[in-house]
Chain A
Amino acid sequence: MNITEKILARASDRNTVTPDDVIFAKVDKVMIHDVSGPGVIKVFDKLKNQGIDTSKLYDPSKVWVAEDHFVPSAEKISAENIVKLSEFTHQYGIKKHFKYGMGQYGICHTLSHEEALVLPGEVYVGGDSHTNTTGGLGAFACGLGHTDVAYVLLNGEIWFKVPETLYFKLNGKLPEHVMAKDFILKIIGDIGTDGGAYNAMQFGGSGIDEMSIESRLTLKNMTTEAGAKNGIIEADQKTVDYLQQRGVNNINQIKSDDDADYAKFFEYEASEIEPIVAKPYSPENITQVRDVSSVELDKAYIGSCTGAKYEDLLAVAKILKGRKVKIRTEILPAAISIYKRAMQDGLLQIFIDSGAMVGPPTCGACCGAHMGVLAKDEICISTTNRNFPGRMGHIESQTYLASPLVVAASAVTGKITDPRDLN
Chain B
Amino acid sequence: MKGNVIKYERDNIDTDVIIPGTYLKIHDYDELAKHAMEGLDPEFHSKVNDGDFLLAGKNFGCGSSREHAPIALSTCGIKAVIAVSFARIFYRNSVDGAFLLPIEIDEKTYQTISNNDELEINIEKNEIKNISKNETYSMKPFSEIIAKIISAGGLFKYKK
Contacts and interface: CB of A to CB of B under 8 A. Distances in A.
B24 interface: yes
A390 B39 contact: yes
Given A129-B63, A147-B67, A369 B22 contact: yes
A128 B93 CA distance: 12
Contact of A148 (B21, B25, B59, B92): B92
Interface of B: 12, 14, 16-17, 20-22, 24-27, 39-40, 58-59, 62-68, 85, 87-89, 92-93, 96-97, 143-145, 154-156, 160
Contacts, number: 126
Contacts of B96: 145, 147-148, 151
A202 interface: no
B89 A194 contact: no
B87 A145 contact: no
Contacts of B12: 193-194, 282
A229 B21 contact: no
A151 B39 CA distance: 30
User: Which of B39, B68, B88 has most A Cβ within 10 Å?
Assistant: B88
B155 A151 contact: yes
12 contacts: A22-B145, A50-B156, A69-B24, A145-B65, A147-B97, A147-B154, A148-B92, A194-B85, A227-B88, A368-B21, A369-B21, A390-B21
Nearest to A395: B39
A144 B92 CA distance: 8
Given A143-B89, A388-B14, A129 B97 contact: no
B19 to A, nearest CB: 10
Interface string A29-40: 000000110110
Given A78-B25, A129-B64, A197-B85, A368 B93 contact: no
A194 B65 contact: no
A194 B25 contact: no
A299 interface: no
Given A129-B65, A194-B85, A227-B59, A148 B27 contact: no
A385 B24 CA distance: 18
Contact of B21 (A41, A131, A367): A367
A77 B96 CA distance: 27
A99 interface: no
Interface in A300-330: none
Contacts of B24: 35, 69-70, 367, 369
A388 B17 contact: yes
A366 B55 CA distance: 29
A368 B145 contact: no
A365 B144 CA distance: 40
A166 to B, nearest CB: 14
A81 interface: yes
A266 B55 CA distance: 33
A390 B67 contact: no
A193 to B, nearest CB: 6
B25 A81 contact: yes
